[in-house]
């Protein structure tokens, strides 16, 4: 970890009062949640084009729920790490004004994001704890529904299939959430991208929008990305360790 780069990134953050954080799966690996593509991740055990496909779900929800129940066990046992906690602390300091995440794990909220200054958290792929009936729209909390002792849960009102409010293959991202998130990026004077491979849309459009808006850009990733040249500072390593060092230098 480069001390000079940490100092430069801390200076950018110290001088910024409208920071937007965009997080991908890499921020949560230190919390014990493998990203989809890594060894031990969901893709290594399930075919997401089948188990996570919306049109398969409409015909037979059982494959999805088999996968989701295993993922839920991981998410329930996970705890926010130092990266999540630092982002919440930066909100408390009045610096972070929005969090955009591709993750469904709700670790940002559990770390305190959205609590201190009531900032928006844009969950592009939804949340695993929020469920709804795809037939009548009735909403449920995860702990209100038995998902483990049945082949798949059904609505107690209309017997329709219950589905978490997560985006499956074949579904579009919620347009209102996406537009609001991108508008927050346009208004920011600093963008921190953490734990995203930047290989898929809309993640790979976010740095471009920030650059066009004149924002400073900080990348925090375990590995390099194809878009590193767009960043003012690239910090490579574990997100929790990098944020721990950054917070020592941020006032």
The catalytic site residues sit at: 125
Q: List, in sequence order, every beta strand (DSSP E) within 8-89.
A: 19-23
In the numeric block, the tokens 């004077």 are attached to 189
Three-state DSSP state, 90: helix
**String of b and e for 37-51 (b: at least 16 CB within 10 Å)?**
eeeeebbeebeeeeb
Distances (CA, A) of 71 to 43, 47, 137: 11, 14, 24
Token pair, residue 139, equals: 């909403």
In the numeric block, the tokens 């991740």 are attached to 41
Query: 10: Cβ–Cβ under 8 A, 6 or more apart, which residues?
Result: 246, 249, 250
Is the preceding omega at residue 202 within 30 degrees of 0, hence cis?
Answer: yes
């Amino acid at each position: 970890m480069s001390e000079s780069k940490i100092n430069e990134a801390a200076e950018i953050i110290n001088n910024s009062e409208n920071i937007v954080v965009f997080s991908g799966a890499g921020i949560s690996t230190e919390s014990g949640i493998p990203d989809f593509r890594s060894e031990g991740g969901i893709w290594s055990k399930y075919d997401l084009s089948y188990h996570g496909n919306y049109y398969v779900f409409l015909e037979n929800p059982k494959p999805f729920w088999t996968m989701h129940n295993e993922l839920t066990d991981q998410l329930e046992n996970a705890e926010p790490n130092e990266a999540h906690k630092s982002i919440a602390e930066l909100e408390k300091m009045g610096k972070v004004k929005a969090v955009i995440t591709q993750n469904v794990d709700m670790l940002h909220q559990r770390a305190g994001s959205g609590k201190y200054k009531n900032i928006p958290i844009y969950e592009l792929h939804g949340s695993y704890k929020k469920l709804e009936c795809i037939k009548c729209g009735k909403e449920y909390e995860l702990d209100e529904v038995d998902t483990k002792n049945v082949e798949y849960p059904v609505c107690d009102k209309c017997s329709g299939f219950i589905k978490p409010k997560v985006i499956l293959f074949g579904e579009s991202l919620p347009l209102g959430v996406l537009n609001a998130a991108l508008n927050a990026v346009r208004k920011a004077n600093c963008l921190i991208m953490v734990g995203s491979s930047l290989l898929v849309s809309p993640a790979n459009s976010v740095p471009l929008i920030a650059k066009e808006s004149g924002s400073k850009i900080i990348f925090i990733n375990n590995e390099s990305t194809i878009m590193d040249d767009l960043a003012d500072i690239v910090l490579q390593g574990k997100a929790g360790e990098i944020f721990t060092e950054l917070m020592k230098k941020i006032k």
